[in-house]
Every structure is written in C-alpha cells, then in structure tokens.
C-alpha cells in the first residue's frame, strides 16, 4: 500500500504547492474572519442529503445481487468514505464492499462491481452537468489571474471525459451482455499463468459480472434519477457556502465548481483528497472572478465540511457495527482476496 501513499503524496504536495502560490495566506485569514458561520449548517445538510441519494441509488444497483435495505447500505457507504479520508487511491471503495459483504453476507466481488458501475454513472452524470453548465452559463473565455481554467479547457475536458467514460461503460456493458464470451477471452489470455491462479481470476471476474446486471429497465431509470439528484445536491452544497464569503454567484456556478472538483478528484492523491480538492475549488472560483484569498478560504472550508461530516458519520457507523479502524485496513486489501 505504501506505493499508493507515495504516488498520491507526490500529487498532493504538487497541488498544495500550486494552491499556496495562487492564494495569499494573509487574505485567507482575513476572509475566514469575515465568514458568516450560519451558512455552515445548511451546507452540511445538503452534503449529507447527497449521500442519502447515493445510498438509494446503490439499492437499485445491488438488486441483482441481493435486496439490501437502506440502513446497511448507508452505513457501508459512510464507512467507505471514511476510508477514502484515511486511505490513498480511493481504497475506501474496497472498504465499502468489504463492510457490506461482512454485514449482509453478500458477494464482495459482485458488490464491488456495483460500486464500479456507480462510479461510471457518476462520471457520465458529471459530464452531462458540465454540458448543461457550458450551454446555460455565461463563462469567461479566458481565465483570470490566479486561475489556469479557461472555457476552452473545460470544453476539452468535457469531451475527453465523455469519451473515457463512454468507453468504460461500453466495456462494462459488453461484460454484462456477453459474459460467457468475455470470460472465455479472459481465460485464454490467462493461460500463461499457473492454472489455479488463472481459474481464480476468471471466477472473480464472473462474480464481478454478476454485480453489473440491472434486472429491470425501471431499476436503471431509478439509478439515473438518483444519480442526477446526488449531483444536483452536491452542486447546491457548493453553492450554499458562497454567501458565507460574500460571493454573489448563482447555482450554476456551484454546479461548475462541483464538476471541476469531481474531475480533479479522479487524480490519485493523498488521503482525503488533500491538495487536489483545494486547488480545483480555488482555481474554479478564481476563474469566476473571486479574490484569491476568498477562493482559498472557501476551498478550505468546503473541504472541512466534507471531511468532518463524512469522518464523523463513518466513525459512528463503524462503532455501531462493532468494528475498529483496523477494518479499514482489512477492507482496503479486498482487491487481493475478493470472493
């Protein structure tokens, strides 16, 4: 795991260095002193509401695997995001599958497949919302001082991301619809490996394919609806903190900020998305005309709302399940011992 930490640490240090070059610490301190804390409560509530919709979406993705009630899904979800706060490289997603599998007795490999599919839907939804923002929001064609974002760069990122996620979706759907054929290709490719290892990998891929099924069109429809609701609330979450710093920006600006942050978080980083989160949020606000100190303080406070709320809820559910922090480490090794 130390390789994951090292790679993410290098990225976070570079992002943190750029962040400190963009913002002024004295101006940040001044912006923090002028902040109106009354806006923190609705900000936190909107953020937690997005996790409710995540858990509801996961219910429909899990239906081909098992009918799992909302509570264990929400519990595993929050423990998984706690894992993302303390583990590198999004290993909290493995923790999620481990916790739900342990709690509900479902296949961890199939459960992890639903998480992969969830992330694909997240990517497609984010790119769809980026398209809406680009069509409906009057964006500056050139970035302002302190920001490296441009409208042309956003468009290029949108098209590149759409191609990437569309290709991934096509690959996953091929595995879903042509399972036996794909598993046959995989078995042939793994022939050079020892027989036991190759058979185990094919078996794991078969279990993974089980989690890619969505049994009814209605289930897929609900997945799409809850994906849109999840990211709509995340956009409102970002927008709800603007007034705390005196920023007069509309909801579309909050959506743009959340989209850019979401795309930035695809880059491997240190635990809790240190550096990458802050840099993306500050650059986006700078692009929309905010002063560097305000942009930096806003980015730091938005990150704190994310980190504190997910960590506290994750620790609460970890305690309720009788698990210690060691469960995060065990769950993060799921990729090497999937069922």
For the stretch 71-86, pLDDT in tens is 999 999 999 999 999 9
181: its two tokens = 């054929």
Element (H, E) at 125: helix 108-136
- Give the integer Cα–Cα distance in Å for 12 and 254: 24
Read off the pLDDT band of 144 (50, 70, 90): very low
Cβ within 8 Å of residue 4, ≥6 positions away: 87, 88, 89, 91, 268
For the stretch 284-296, pLDDT in tens is 998 888 999 999 9
**Is pLDDT of 197 > 80?**
no
Cβ within 8 Å of residue 100, ≥6 positions away: 68, 72, 73, 76, 106, 108, 111
Q: Could you tell me the sign of the dihedral formed by the alpha carbons of 249, 251, 252, 257, in that order?
A: positive
pLDDT at 207: 59
pLDDT at 131: 79
Nearest residue to 124 via CA among 77, 172, 78: 172
pLDDT at 53: 98
Nearest residue to 296 via CA among 252, 245, 238, 239: 245
142: its two tokens = 């050139």
Q: Write the DSSP assignment of 306-328 as a string of letters.
A: HHHHHHHHHHHHHHHTT--THHH
What is the rounded average pLDDT of the residues 137-160?
66
- Give the integer Cα–Cα distance in Å for 264 and 255: 14
pLDDT at 217: 66
Cβ within 8 Å of residue 290, ≥6 positions away: 245, 247, 298
**Is pLDDT of 96 > 90?**
yes
- Give residue for tokens 């809820």: 313
Cβ within 8 Å of residue 89, ≥6 positions away: 4, 7, 8, 268
Q: How many CA atoms lie less than 13 Å away from 295 in the CB half-sphere?
A: 27
Max mean pLDDT among 37-51, 102-116, 188-202, 214-228 falls in: 37-51
pLDDT at 268: 84
pTM above 0.95, yes or no: no
Contact between 57 and 222 (Cβ < 8 Å): yes
pLDDT at 200: 66
Contact between 57 and 118 (Cβ < 8 Å): yes
């Amino acid at each position: 795991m130390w390789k994951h930490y090292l790679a993410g640490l290098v990225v976070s240090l570079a992002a943190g260095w750029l962040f400190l070059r963009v913002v002024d610490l004295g101006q940040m301190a001044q912006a923090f002193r002028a902040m109106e804390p009354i806006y923190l409560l609705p900000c936190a509530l909107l953020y937690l509401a997005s996790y409710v919709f995540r858990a509801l979406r996961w219910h429909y993705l899990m239906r081909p695997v098992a009918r799992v009630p909302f509570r264990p899904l929400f519990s595993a979800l929050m423990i998984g995001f706690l894992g993302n706060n303390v583990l590198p490289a999004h290993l909290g997603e493995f923790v999620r599958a481990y916790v739900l599998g342990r709690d509900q007795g479902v296949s961890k490999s199939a459960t992890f497949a639903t998480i992969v599919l969830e992330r694909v839907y997240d990517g497609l939804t984010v790119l769809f919302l980026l398209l809406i923002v680009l069509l409906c929001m009057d964006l500056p064609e050139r970035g302002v001082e302190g920001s490296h974002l441009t409208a042309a760069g956003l468009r290029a990122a949108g098209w590149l991301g759409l191609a990437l996620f569309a290709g991934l979706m096509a690959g996953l759907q091929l595995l879903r619809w042509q399972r036996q054929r794909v598993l046959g290709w995989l078995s042939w490719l793994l022939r050079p490996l020892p027989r036991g290892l190759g058979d185990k990998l094919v078996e794991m891929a078969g279990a993974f394919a089980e989690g890619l099924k969505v049994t009814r069109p209605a289930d897929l429809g609900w997945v799409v609806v809850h994906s849109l609701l999840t990211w709509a609330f995340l956009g409102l979450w970002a927008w709800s903190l603007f007034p705390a710093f005196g920023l007069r920006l509309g909801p579309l600006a909050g959506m743009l900020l959340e989209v850019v942050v979401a795309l930035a978080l695809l880059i491997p980083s240190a635990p809790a998305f240190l550096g990458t989160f802050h840099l993306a949020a500050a650059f986006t606000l700078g692009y929309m005309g905010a002063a560097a100190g305000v942009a930096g303080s806003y980015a730091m406070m938005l990150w704190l709302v994310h980190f504190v709320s997910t960590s506290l809820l994750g620790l609460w559910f970890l305690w309720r399940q009788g698990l210690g922090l060691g469960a995060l480490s065990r769950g993060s090794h799921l990729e090497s011992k999937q069922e």
